[in-house]
Homo-oligomer: A and B are copies of this chain.
Amino acid sequence: MAVKRSWVLKQDAGDGKMKEISDHIYEGALAFLNAEYKLLTIFVIIASIALAIIAYIVPTTHMLIIVAFIFGAIFSALAGNMGMKIATKTNVRTTQAARSSLPKALKISFGGGTVMGLGVAGLAVLGLTVFFIVFFHYFMGGVWTNTMDMTVVLETLAGFSLGAESIALFARVGGGIYTKAADVGADLVGKVEAGIPEDDPRNPATIADNVGDNVGDVAGMGADLFGSYVATVLAAMVLGNYVLKDILASNPTFTDAFGGIGPILLPVVIAGFGILFSIIGTMLVKISSNDAKEAQVQSALNIGNWVSIIMVAVASYFLIDYMLPPTMNMEFYGEGAKEIASIRVFYAAIVGLVVGGVISSVTEYYTGLGKKPILAIVQKSSTGAGTNIIAGLATGMISTFPTILLFAGAIWASYAFAGFYGVALAASAMMATTAMQLAIDAFGPIADNAGGIAEMSELPNEVRTRTDILDSVGNTTAATGKGFAIASAALTSLALFAAYVTFTGIDGINIFRAPVLAMLFVGGMVPVVFSALAMNSVGKAAMDMVYEVRRQFKEIPGIMEGTGKPEYGKCVQISTKAALREMMLPGLLTIGFPIAIVLLGMLIYPDNNELVAEMLGGYMAGVTVSGVLWAVFQNNAGGAWDNAKKSFEAGVMINGEMTYKGSDAHKAAVTGDTVGDPFKDTSGPSMNILIKLTCLIGLVIAPILGEHEASEHGLATPSATVIEQPAVTGLEQREEVTIDRQIDADGNVIATVTVSTITEKETIKTTEEIFEGTPEEVNQKIAEFKENR
């Protein structure tokens, strides 16, 4: 990433005017992020206090979760910040390159995207790995003890994911509101009232509009996928822990080349390899001809993407073969334990990769230029905005049909192959190429910005034509990227949902219990209300922008003649303030509801934590089902309206007549696009975070409701049993080391290490030693004890 970054930054950043505009965008974006981070610091402090309370009450939740949470939040912010910095530096360099050559412009803009993709994926794997290693050593002394201990490790690690996803919520929602408020506001006054073109430097909101592309599509998307990535891998690790439990149930002496934790490490390793393959994939994205059209650019991206996907598939086969035992004993809910071959886990991973690929095609079909649904919307535009809107809504709604059948099939199939571990592995495999996906995604807004800079700097038309080609491809990848994001969010949520059920130790979630069913309804409602709030926020923020632009047009002399300089900064400020203000309520809704349900449930059923856990589970399921539906509906309807409008640029045939921009039908299509804007860029993409965060909050709350064995003993960490390899004669006689850890009020550990020899007939306790001290000291002593034996 650093290599690519320094290469990009070394490129020519163009001359005076271009650089000035680019700097405005850079500063505006940073100003937003800084204001956002200030606000989020307060949120992180409040959330940390809440976590501290949970950790204080619940014996199995350790205070370290707060550290993990804070680092998750910081990493997520860092990922967004880094991506945005490089994107805002790359835009002007792309413009400069486009003055001479299209291939170079692609190389630079995609290079910027690659930096972001690798940064996000790298930070995710780094953060997860480091914290896993730290917690693994802290709680288990770096060796496998038992399922319960590992549960504590992973529960603490969930804090990292929670931190990442919380920041993602605000980045996505805030960024989404920002970008559309600036866009709609700039259009309403600029295009409609003043009659000046898009990206015209006389429009005071134009810088804010370009900043919006970065904070929404780059930083927001980056934080979103960072969150998905972390959550997916975490969920797969949690479920891997339960796979291990099932394996040990039938084979207590099980171990492997990874100290017995192969199933837990597998998802991280796949993620790590995915980054390598993404790098190879990004290297393949290039075009040679300066006269290339959209199709060539798109196919260059496709080649890179497919190569990295296929490499992940191949690598998964070998990794699964290497890291998992050939057959595993796996518990299928309601069907009992089954002996399954590890190849079935590979099949599940393939399901994930297929979903990732197919969802792009489905999205492409419903939102792509020249496709049947778009043509139908174009035709309906001839009878007015009303029929255009109905057609767009209907297209978005119908697009849920193949999408949901695909998801439902994927859930079913990957579960049938390898239980919920299979579902999580499907998600992990799909997410493995996140770096590549993000590179493809982030290159779009960079190209869009590059075009804006060309327009504002009044560069020759050919420059704009070249950036327009990149921008147009970027629009398609933005739509398919949203498909990928929601698919990953859906599978991630299900994996988290499964992890939640196993964490709480409930028997499943029975919607025939009325309180659970009631919460299913409530959960179904939340994404709808969340979307409405986000849409209304865009409307309010856009109106703020309209008033400011009107004021500047009136008060600054010579602004329309190009002699007066608009106050770009004021507009950036207004968008920033509005976005931060408006993201509060949706955020509160997301975080508040699960907590309210648990509190209400515990109040009404004080002795029935199991029912409360099921209620929360019903809520999670409701949010997930409804959230996925509304995400698909809104993303695809928005994308369809957008491209229906774009169709008029090249001209469309309506009732036998060629119709162009400026016609009544085009105006109707513009109205549709106005409705679609918040759909596809604000409320639609927010659904991803809503469903993931809901399930993560559930996971973090789970220990309160769960009935871990440990909590029965009142221990801070539960008893831990290390079973070492059979010592002398195969299975007939083996040695067992039991380590029982208790943590006192000061955080010191009292560990009782017992060594026993077990034969078929009897168990003979040979040694018992007690160690006391800080966790680190005790681990050290145990290690010494083992060495000396």
Task: Report A's interface with B, CB cutoff 8 A.
Answer: 188, 192, 333-335, 380, 383-387, 389-391, 393-395, 397-398, 400-401, 404-405, 407-409, 411-412, 415-416, 420, 423, 494, 498, 501, 507-515, 517-522, 524-525, 528-529, 531-533, 535-536, 538-539, 543, 546, 608, 611, 617-618, 621-622, 625-626, 628-629, 633, 670-675, 678
Q: Say yes or no: A404 contacts B521, CB within 8 Å.
A: yes
A102: shortest Cβ distance to chain B, in Å? Answer: 34
Q: A394-B536, A411-B518 are in contact. Are A525 and B385 (CB under 8 A)?
A: no
A675 CB contacts on chain B under 8 angstroms: 386, 389-390, 393
Are B383 and A385 in contact, with the CB atoms below 8 A?
A: no
Asked whether, in the complex, the Cβ of A625 is within 8 Å of the Cβ of B628, the reply is: no
CB < 8 Å: which of B416, B529, B531, B621 contacts A514? Answer: B416
Q: A412-B514, A508-B513, A512-B498 are in contact. Are A522 and B387 (CB under 8 A)?
A: no
> Of B333, B391, B408, B411, which one neighbours A539 at CB under 8 angstroms?
B391
**Cross-chain pairs A/B with CB under 8 angstroms, 27 sampled:** A333-B510, A383-B546, A385-B386, A385-B671, A386-B670, A386-B675, A387-B539, A389-B671, A390-B675, A397-B531, A398-B529, A398-B536, A400-B528, A407-B518, A411-B518, A415-B514, A498-B512, A509-B510, A510-B511, A511-B621, A517-B621, A520-B625, A524-B524, A524-B626, A524-B629, A525-B629, A626-B629
Alpha-carbon separation in the docked complex, A747 to B437 (Å) = 67
Q: In the complex, which residues of chain B have a beta carbon less than 8 angstroms from the beta carbon of A401?
A: 525, 529
CB neighbours (8 Å) of A618 from chain B are 511
Which chain B positions have C-beta within 8 A of A508?
510-513
- Which residues of chain B come closer than 8 Å to A513, judged between CB atoms? 333-334, 508
* Nearest B-chain residue to A520, judged by Cβ: B625
What is the bound-complex CA distance between A636 and B524, given in angstroms?
17
With known contacts A334-B513, A518-B409, A671–B386 Cβ distance under 8 A: yes
Instruction: Point out which of A389, A510, A514, A629 has the most chain B C-beta atoms below 10 A from its C-beta.
Output: A514
Contact of A528 among B536, B629, B670 (CB under 8 A): B629
Residues of B contacting A415 with CB < 8 Å? Answer: 514-515
Are A397 and B522 also in contact (CB < 8 A) when A387-B674, A423-B514 are? no
In the assembly, what is the distance between CA of A391 and CA of B542, in Å?
Answer: 13
Question: Is B529's CB under 8 angstroms from A628's CB?
Answer: no
Question: What's the Cα separation between A520 and B538 when bound, in Å?
Answer: 32
Bound-state Cα–Cα, A618 to B670, Å: 40
User: In the bound complex, how far is the Cα of B498 from the Cα of A510, in angstroms?
Assistant: 12
| Contact (Cβ within 8 A) B674 A518 | no
Which of B386, B539, B625, B628 touches A380 (beta carbons < 8 Å)? B539
State the Cβ distance, A485 to closest chain B Cβ, in Å. Answer: 18
Contacts of A335 in B (CB 8 A): 608
* The 9 A-B residue pairs with the shortest CB-CB distance in the complex, in nearest-first order: A386-B674, A415-B514, A397-B532, A508-B512, A404-B525, A508-B510, A408-B518, A394-B532, A412-B518
- The contact of A494 among B394, B420, B517, B633, by CB within 8 Å, is B517
For the complex, what is the distance from the CA of A533 to the CA of B629, rounded to whole Å?
A: 16
Q: Which residues on the B side are within 8 Å of A621 (C-beta)? A: 511, 517, 520
A411 to chain B, nearest CB (A): 5
CB atoms of A188 and B411 under 8 A apart: no
State A401–B543 Cα separation when bound (angstroms): 25
Query: Complex formed: what's the CA distance from A389 to B672 in Å?
Result: 9
Contacts of A389 in B (CB 8 A): 385, 389, 671, 675
**Residues in B whose Cβ lies below 8 Å from that of A391:** 536, 539
Question: Which chain B residue shows the least CB distance to A414?
Answer: B514
| A506 nearest in chain B by CB position | B512
Chain B residue at minimal CB-CB distance from A618: B511
Which among B333, B400, B531, B538 is the interface contact of A529 at CB below 8 angstroms?
Answer: B400
Task: Find the B residue at minimum CB distance from A387.
Answer: B539
In the assembled complex, which residues on chain B have CB atoms less than 8 Å from the CB atom of A333? 510, 512-513
CA distance A494 to B519 in the complex (A): 14
CB neighbours (8 Å) of A408 from chain B are: 518-519, 521-522
Which residues of the other chain, B, contact A393 by a CB distance below 8 angstroms?
532, 535, 675
Whether the pair B334, A529 counts as a contact (CB closer than 8 A) is: no
Of A333, A408, A538, most B-chain CB atoms within 10 Å: A408
Which of chain B's residues has its CB closest to A622's CB?
B625
The minimal Cβ–Cβ distance linking A461 to chain B, given in whole angstroms, is 30
Is B517 within 8 A of A411, CB to CB? Answer: yes
Chain B contacts of A420 at CB under 8 A?
A: 514
Task: Report whether B625 and A529 are in contact in the complex, using a CB–CB cutoff of 8 Å.
Answer: no
A618 to B408, CA, bound (A): 12
With contact pairs A398-B529, A412-B518 given, residues A334 and B671 touching in the complex (Cβ less than 8 Å): no
A631 to B460, CA, bound (A): 53
Query: In the complex, how many angstroms separate the beta carbon of A131 from the nearest chain B beta carbon?
Result: 28
Return A75 CB to nearest CB of chain B, in Å: 31
Which residues of B have CB within 8 Å of A673? 386
Give Cα A398 to B586, complex, Å.
12
Per the bound structure, the CA–CA distance linking A611 and B538 in Å amounts to 45
User: CA A519 – CA B621 in complex, angstroms?
Assistant: 12
Q: 15 extra interchain contacts, Cβ-Cβ under 8 A, other than A400-B525, A524-B625?
A: A335-B608, A386-B675, A389-B675, A390-B536, A390-B678, A391-B536, A398-B532, A405-B525, A407-B518, A408-B518, A412-B514, A415-B515, A521-B628, A524-B524, A528-B633
